[in-house]
């Protein structure tokens, strides 16, 4: 297959256009994931349907919440916990850790798959297992979303 000079010029033009489109699409991704940016961990305008800790499950029932086991937190503490999750911000981090932790699963309205977060309290890291994103949060924020083994809210 031989192309004329004009044909090769057209191939080069379309290849350059393709590269420009690819770079433009990738630059938005790179900007979104810039290390050091402080962003919301739970996407904006999200509604949590279910929040599952290793020993506790919290489900939305209309405008209220049901917790299993039942007697762990009051309804006010549940509302506070959900509010903290919805407003949780973290600094994007490219570091990872093999530290032990625990998994928290968030089912959000309108999403097919849950957010599976790996919480590492000693390093103050939260990692989205599926999207491979890691955020560094301060110890105060982490204590607000942590339910201890005694099943009481830390803060």
Assign 6 a pLDDT band (cuts: 50, 70, 90): very high
Please list the alpha-helical segments (H only) found in 33-97. Answer: 75-86
Claim to verify: residue 25 and residue 69 sit in the same structural domain: no
pLDDT at 90: 86
Same domain, 10 and 86: no
Per-residue pLDDT band at 28 (split at 50, 70, 90): low
In DSSP terms, 102 is beta-bridged to 119
Pair (59, 103) in one structural domain: yes
As given in the structure block, the two tokens for residue 139 are 């110890």
Number of domains in the chain: 2
For residue 114, give the nearest of 97, 100, 126, 131 by alpha carbon: 131
State yes or no: pLDDT of 152 exceeds 50.
Answer: no
> Is residue 152 in some structural domain?
no
Q: Is residue 151 part of a domain?
A: no
pLDDT of amino acid 32: 56
- Give yes or no: residues 24 and 55 share one domain: no
> What separation in angstroms does the CA of 78 have from each of 13, 68, 125, 144?
58, 12, 23, 11
Asked if residue 155 belongs to a domain, the reply is: no
* Mean pLDDT of the 28-48 span: 74
Say whether both 104 and 73 belong to one domain: yes
> What pLDDT score was predicted for residue 34?
63
One domain for residues 8 and 43: no
pLDDT in tens, 69-104: 766 677 888 888 888 898 888 888 877 777 788 899
Mean pLDDT rounded to a whole number for the chain: 82
For residue 5, the enclosing domain spans: 1-32
pTM, rounded to two decimals: 0.69
What proportion of the chain, given as a percentage, has pLDDT over 90? 15
Nearest by Cα to 50 from 103, 106, 113, 110: 106
Q: Please check whether residues 99 and 61 belong to one and the same domain.
A: yes
76 lies in the same domain as 134: yes
């Amino acid at each position: 297959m031989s192309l004329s000079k004009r044909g090769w010029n057209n191939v080069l033009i379309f290849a350059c256009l393709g590269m420009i489109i690819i770079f433009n699409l990738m630059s938005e991704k790179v900007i979104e994931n810039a290390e050091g940016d402080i962003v919301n961990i739970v996407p904006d305008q999200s509604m949590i349907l279910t929040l599952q800790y290793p020993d506790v499950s919290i489900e939305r029932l209309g405008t209220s919440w049901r917790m299993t086991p039942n007697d762990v937190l009051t309804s006010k503490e549940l509302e506070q916990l959900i509010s903290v999750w919805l407003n949780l911000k973290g600094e994007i981090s490219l570091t990872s850790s093999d530290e032990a932790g625990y998994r928290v699963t968030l089912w959000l309205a309108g999403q097919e798959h849950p957010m599976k977060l790996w919480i590492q309290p000693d390093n103050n890291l939260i990692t989205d297992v599926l999207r491979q994103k890691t955020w560094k949060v301060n110890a105060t924020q982490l204590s607000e979303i942590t339910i201890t083994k005694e099943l009481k809210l830390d803060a």
